[in-house]
Amino acid sequence: MLDFVDETLVGAADRWLADFETALAGGGDMAALFLDDGYWRDILALTWHMTTVKGVDEIGAALAAAGDAGATGFRVDPARTPPRRVSRAGREVVEAIFAFETATGQCDGVLRLAPDPADAGTLKAWTLMTALEGIKGHEESVNGARPKGEAYSRNFRGPNWQDQRDAEMAFADRDPAVLVVGGGQAGLSIAARLGQLGVDTLIVDRLPRIGDNWRTRYHALTLHNQVQVNHLPYMPFPPGWPTYIPKDKLAGWFEAYVEAMELNYWTGTELVGASYDEGAGLWDVELKRDGETRTMRPRHVVMATGVSGIPHVPEIDGLEKFQGQVVHSSRYTDGEDWTGRRAIVIGTGNSGHDIAQDLASAGADVTLVQRSPTLVVNIEPGAQLPYTLYEEGPPLEDCDLIVTGIPHAISRETHIQLTAKAKELDQPLLDGLAEKGFRLDFGDDGSGWQFKYLTRGGGYYFNVGASDMIVDGRIRLIQFSDIQDFDAAGVVTGEGALPADVIVLATGWKPQEVLVERLFGADVAAQVGPVWGFDEIDGTEELRNMYLRTAQRGLWFIAGSLAQCRINSKYLALQIKASEEGLIEPVLPAA
C-alpha cells in the first residue's frame, strides 16, 4: 500500500460520498454530483447486473430505477490504497477506493472526482463504480473464516483428509451444483471462487492432464504479459518467478493450484452435449470419460473454454492440391521437426509470428503469409504500457478494483493514447516492416491491441523477435493476395513457385457461439446470441454474455486473460451463489 495519506483528498472524497448517500436516499440532488460527461458502472451492487450508464441525466434515472438496495455507510476505505491524484485517459482526477454495504452485501467501489469548470471548479464525479464484494451470511471461507479441519484431524478412526477428497472428487453419490467446462485459467478461477463460497463444483476437461491446455502448445511459447498481472485468485505466483512465464511452468502451476485449492477436476472428460430441463431447473449433461458415459444434472453449466474454442480452418481454394503436411496452429508443436525444410505460415497474429520465429530459429526456410493488416507492438515497453498500474505500488486487489472501475469507453481513450506512444517508441521497427510490405493496423481509431482482443479476440502481435526477422530477411513475407494457386509442391505466386514441406494455418478460432450450438443446440445458441465482443461502441458497452447471467437459465461464460479471469471470476461466482441462495434468478431478466 502507498504510505502517504493526503487527508485533504480523503475529506473531499468522504464529503462527496456522504452527499451521494443522501441523494441515493432521496434527500439530495443527484444531478449536482456528476459531471455532464460522467459515468456510473455498477457490478451487482445495486442492480445485480453489470451495467454502465453515461451522462448526468441518465445516471440519475438509472440510480432511481435501481430501487432501494439499502445502500449505506459510504466512506473512503482506510484499509485500501488512499485517495490520490492520478491521470486517467489524460484527465487529472482524484481517485478514491471506498466501501459501503447494502441489505444483502458488503460492497466497494472506485470514485474519480474532477473539477467542474461550469460550477466554480466544484469537485464532481467523472466516474463512479459500485461493486459487490461479498454476500452477507455467505462470506468466503478465507482468513479468519477458514475451516478448522477438525473433522479429519481429530477423528483418528474416521476418514482422513485424503479419504474425503477422494470421495468429493468421485461424485459417486451426487451431482455437482456447477459443472465447469474447461480447465484453463478461466475454469480454475471460477471453480476456486465457488469453492470458497461453498458451492459444489466440478471442472471437466478433455485433455489427459491438468495444465495440458498450455503444456501441449508450441514448444517455445511463453506468456506475453508480465507475471505481476497474471496471478490466479488466492495464490499469487512466487516472487522469484520469471517476468514472462514459460508455458510448461504455468502448466505445472495449474496442477499445483488444483491440489492446493482442493478443486474437483476430471481430466480426459468430454462434454458430449446438454439440454435444459425447465421443469426441474436442471441440466441433463452427457459426459464421456474413460470410454464410459455419465449423465449429470447440475443446476449450472459454466463454459470456460476460452474466447473461442474451435480452431478456424478456412476453406482455401486449391489447398487440397498440396501434398505436404497441413496443420492448424493449435496442433503445431516444435520447429525442430522441420529443421532444414521449407515452411509456409498463413496468418500474422501472435501465433503465426511465434510459429514462424520458432521454425526459422530451428533452421527451417520460412515464409509468412499476411491475410489482413496486423497491429505490431514491441513486447517491451509498448505492449506492457497498459499494466503500469500494477507496478506503481497499490496491492493487487486494489489494482484490480481500479481497473474494473474504468468504463470501457474511458479505457478505450486510454488505449488510444498508449497506442500512439507505443507507435512512437516502435517507429524504426514499424518503418522496417512497412518497407518489407507488411500492412500495419492499429485498431479502430488507433485503439490498439487491447480493443482488438476485446472485439475480435486477435489481430495483433507482440514482437519478441519475429518482426526483426522479417525486417532482416530471415523470415520471408508475402501477401495472401500474391498466392495464385497451390500445387502438390507448395504455393504458386506471380513471382513463381514457392515450395513447402508444411503449411501452418495460424488462422485463429471460431466464435464461442459455434461451440454453444454444437453442445447445446441451435435454439440455445440463438437464445443466448453472440459471446464476447460488443454490440456497439457507444460508451456504455459491456462484453456480451460474459461473466454474467445469460438469456439461457443456468448457462454462464467466463474467458479471457489470467487477469480478466481472476477479476471477473469473483463477480460470476457471486451471481451463481446468489442464485443458489434464492437472491436472484439464474437467467437474465427480460428487458
pLDDT at 180: 98
On the question of pLDDT at 428 being above 70, the answer is yes
pLDDT at 399: 96
Average pLDDT score over the chain: 93
Global pTM?
0.94
Among 249, 263, 181, 173, smallest CA distance to 211 is for 249
Q: Quick check: helix, strand or coil at residue 23?
A: helix
pLDDT at 153: 55
More confident residue, 26 or 218: 26
pLDDT at 3: 55
Phi, psi of 484 (to 5 degrees): -90, -30
On the question of pLDDT at 410 being above 50, the answer is yes
On the question of pLDDT at 63 being above 90, the answer is yes
pLDDT at 571: 98
DSSP 503-539: EEE---EE-HHHHHHHHH-HHHHHHH---SS-S--SS
Contact 406, 95 (CB under 8 A): no
Q: What percent of the chain has pLDDT over 90?
A: 84
Among 211, 214, 215, smallest CA distance to 255 is for 211
pLDDT at 152: 56
User: Around Cβ 397, how many Cβ atoms within 10 Å?
Assistant: 16
Q: Quick check: helix, strand or coil at residue 7?
A: helix
Which tens digits make up the pLDDT trace of 125-164?
A: 999 999 999 999 999 988 767 776 665 555 666 788 899 9
User: Around Cβ 523, how many Cβ atoms within 10 Å?
Assistant: 12
Assign 3-state DSSP to the chain and report helix, strand, coil percentages, each to 5.
35, 25, 40
Contact 226, 386 (CB under 8 A): no
Site of grid cell 459515468: 39
Among 183, 182, 163, 166, smallest CA distance to 255 is for 183
Q: Is 480 left (phi over 0), alpha (psi -120 to 50) or beta?
A: alpha
**Across 292-348, where does the E strand assignment appear?**
292-296, 300-303, 310-311, 325-328, 342-346
DSSP 345-395: EE--SHHHHHHHHHHHHTT-EEEEEE-S-BEEEETTTGGGGGGGGGGSS--
Which tens digits make up the pLDDT trace of 184-241?
A: 999 999 999 999 999 999 999 999 999 999 998 888 888 988 999 999 999 999 999 9
Please, what are the domains in the chain? 7-135 (3.10.450.50), 162-309+510-580 (3.50.50.60), 313-507 (3.50.50.60)
pLDDT at 1: 42
Mean pLDDT of 396-412: 95
Strands 292-296 and 282-289 turn out to be antiparallel
Q: How confident is the model at residue 28 (pLDDT cuts 50, 70, 90)?
A: confident
- List Cα–Cα distances, 563 to 189, 356, 456, 543, 568, in angstroms: 10, 27, 18, 15, 8
pLDDT at 6: 85
Taken in order 241, 245, 251, 254, is the CA torsion positive or negative?
Answer: positive
Least confident of 259-268, 460-469, 504-513: 504-513
Read off the C-alpha cell for 434: 512497412
Contact 35, 116 (CB under 8 A): yes
Q: How confident is the model at residue 585 (pLDDT cuts 50, 70, 90)?
A: very high
